[in-house]
Amino acid sequence: MESIAWTGAALRVVDQRRVPDETVLLDLADVDAVVEAIATLAVRGANVIGTAGAFGYALGVRAGLDPVDVAARVVAARPTAVNLRVGVDLAHAARLAGDDPLDVAVRLLEEDRAACAAIGELGRAALAGASRILTHCNTGVLATTGRGTALGIVYAKAAAGEPVEVLATETRPLRQGARLTVWELQQAGIPVTLLVDSAAAAALATGRVDAVVVGADRIAANGDTANKIGTLALAIAARHAGVPFYVAATWNAVDPGTPTGAAIPIEERDASEVLGTGPGAPAAGTAVWNPAFDVTPADLVTGIVTERGVLRAPFGPAIAELAR
């Protein structure tokens, strides 16, 4: 299943809000539809929203809208994932050079697929011997145009005939791990066990995990990494348990212009995602803090797997070298 595809007239996407209950395809024919889909998480995953953003920009320009305004609107849909800005910037630069931004969007879709395949193989080698993988949120075929970043490593291990099983965190409040990652892996026939977020530290402490592998929405120049809220807690628990903690991301998640994680903008989402409704909901008027992401310091990261290679500490010089 492809997470997104270009039909020739619209961007066709899987509505990830509906998975796993049903598979619904949306045809996004204008920039407004693309922005809404990204903002409401019908389209999610750093790689997918980067590619979708480029298509959204191309659709807006084709409709005769102001290119600068279109770019700003698309990028503002979700501020933390740098992939979105990169995709839009590349499409905008193509237009300024007299090229068709749609060609850039199609190229990004194809390049992401190849990058995910490379990450899978490089990660498989880096994690040789690790068969019990703990992961967070969703980083597979729904989050990329290929087979995934962190989950791409799992798929590569399975394809090579290596033993592999996954412990997937629920990923509150929107349960991307429970809804998307578990479903993906079940479809692929890969053993997966679901655990609530608060059980992850216990799984690490009791020897149930060989390695933690997560994705990234933005990696700062020093290696600090923004990812789904709860990632920092996993990194701290992994360090305490002596379990390696890897980040897997395509190179367009690396932002050399952001010096440290302190400079990464963190999206905060509506309280309704946490409060819910009906039986068991918190009392009306309960105050909520609902950040979508947190930042894991570089010194808690064992390695960063990209399509350009596996980076090791010190990450600042390693990122600078590969960015040349």
| 179-213 residue pLDDT tens | 999 999 999 999 999 999 999 999 999 999 999 99
Rounded-to-integer distance, Cα 144 and Cα 123, Å: 16
Among 151, 148, 150, smallest CA distance to 113 is for: 148
* Averaged pLDDT, 87-98: 97
DSSP-based helix, strand, coil % in the chain, nearest 5: 45, 15, 40
Q: Is the pTM of this model over 0.85?
A: yes
Q: What confidence tier does 52 reach under pLDDT thresholds 50, 70, 90?
A: very high
Report the chain's mean pLDDT, rounded to a whole number. Answer: 97
What's the sign of the alpha-carbon dihedral 158, 160, 164, 166? negative
Instruction: Report whether 119 contacts 305 (CB < 8 A).
Output: yes
- The amino acid sitting at 101 is P
Taken as a whole, the chain contains a residue count of 324
Residues flagged as binding site for substrate: 44-46, 78, 176, 227-228
| Domain limits, the chain | 4-111, 119-323
**Residue 276, pLDDT above cutoff 90:** no
Outline where DSSP puts E strands in 132-228.
132-135, 165-169, 192-195, 211-214, 218-220, 225-228
**Best CATH choice for the domain 119-323 from the list 1.10.540.10, 3.40.50.720, 2.40.400.10, 3.40.50.10470:** 3.40.50.10470
Residues flagged as binding site: 44-46, 78, 176, 227-228
Residue with tokens 């970043």: 149
Query: Over the stretch 72-82, which tens digit does the pLDDT of each residue have?
Result: 999 999 999 99
**Residue 113, pLDDT above cutoff 80:** yes
Q: Which of 112, 217, 224, 294 is catalytic?
A: 217
What's the sign of the alpha-carbon dihedral 27, 62, 69, 92? positive
Identify the DSSP state of 9: S
Q: Tell the burial category of 289 from Cβ atoms under 10 Å away from its Cβ (0-12, 13-18, 19+).
A: exposed
Query: Over the stretch 206-240, which tens digit does the pLDDT of each residue have?
Result: 999 999 999 999 999 999 999 999 999 999 999 99
Instruction: Count Cβ atoms below 10 Å from residue 254 Cβ, excluding itself.
Output: 27
Outline where DSSP puts E strands in the chain.
4-6, 11-14, 25-28, 132-135, 165-169, 192-195, 211-214, 218-220, 225-228, 245-248, 254-255, 293-296, 303-306, 309-311
* Averaged pLDDT, 115-128: 98
Query: Over the stretch 147-159, which tens digit does the pLDDT of each residue have?
Result: 999 999 999 999 9
**Best CATH choice for the domain 4-111 from the list 1.10.1370.30, 3.40.50.2030, 1.20.120.420, 3.40.50.720:** 1.20.120.420
217 is catalytic: yes
Which pLDDT score is estimated for 173? 93
